[in-house]
Amino acid sequence: MSEITHRTIKANGINMHIAEAGEGPLVFLLHGFPELWYSWRHQLPALAAAGYHAVAPDVRGYGRTDAPAAIESYNMLNHTADVVGILDALGERTAVVVGHDWGAPIAWHCALLYPERFRAVVALSVPYIPRASAPTTQLLKQVFADTFFYILYFQEPGVAEAELEADVARSLRFLLYSASGDGPRGAGLARKPKDAKFLDGMQEPDRLPSWLTKADLDYFTSEFERTGFRGGLNRYRNMDRDWEELPQLAGAKVQQPALFITGDRDPVLTFTSSDAMKASVPDLRDVLVLEGCGHWTQQERPAEVSAALVGFLRGVR
């Protein structure tokens, strides 16, 4: 099995930590919230063994990558420029980009904004969502007028940080379990009162699910105890800014070959649809739905996700 190595490189004006394995065509693996490069721990060696150079960064604001202070530093323009900056630093012209959770929108936007640099795209959990008719929070306030919705809760700086950082290990344990296929249905994003908190309704597992060891949880906990959650939360606070800064994406289509992977118990499916994206992703090769899988796709079903990635990559070589 290929060894995972680590280094820090300069990209888009910040220091970015990357984990990497293997040699060959470049494949980026972009994590989401609240995760780290570590969520790709299974795919890095699997892709390396298949003949690829797999690179999983800590996204800006996470882990051992820089976390700029300004909220606007976490807009989509910066996140995609970070990926291009890594591509340049590695001396590569093109790559395939793979993203999970918030990494998925970053991957979709890499394909849209830099079509000459990204020759294919894979998204896990979050389908391509075309530009809306109005800013995101405006639309969400209409839909969730009298109920809690986590994206709106995350908008006010400091509020979610205080809740999640009060006991980092507990917060991660609740979230990783409740949004997984092992957790009770609806525990993660169930409708609840508008004045609720993010973790309300989530449950403590009697024991960790089989895909998450104590060592795994300890790694996530140690990193977030050191950094806090602000960097990841600031991505949510730029959704309206992204809408304002990217008007050219109205009606835009992702032209590259694409693959979408999700779990049939992923709570994100309660407010998104993979069917709706098909008209905007004309070369969507497949939609893979993993039975019994929740939100943490590549961690819950590592072998199936790795096999799907390798099969897709060989098809677009």
Residues carrying an active site annotation? 101, 295
- Tell me which residue of 32, 2, 33 sits closest to 19, measured CA to CA: 2
Instruction: Look up residue 309 and give its DSSP letter.
Output: H
CA distances from 43 to 13, 40, 96, 202, 269 (A): 28, 5, 14, 28, 23
Q: Which two tokens stand for residue 50?
A: 């298949």
Q: What is the dihedral of CA 60, 218, 159, 230, to 10 degrees?
A: -10
Which secondary-structure segment (H or E) carries 286? strand 284-290
Helix (H, G, I), strand (E, B) or coil at 234: helix
Q: What is the DSSP letter of 147?
A: B
Q: Is 163 helix (H, G, I), strand (E, B) or coil?
A: helix
Using DSSP's 3-state secondary structure scheme, residue 176 falls into: helix
Beta-bridged to residue 16, according to DSSP, are 9
Residue the block writes with tokens 């970070």: 82
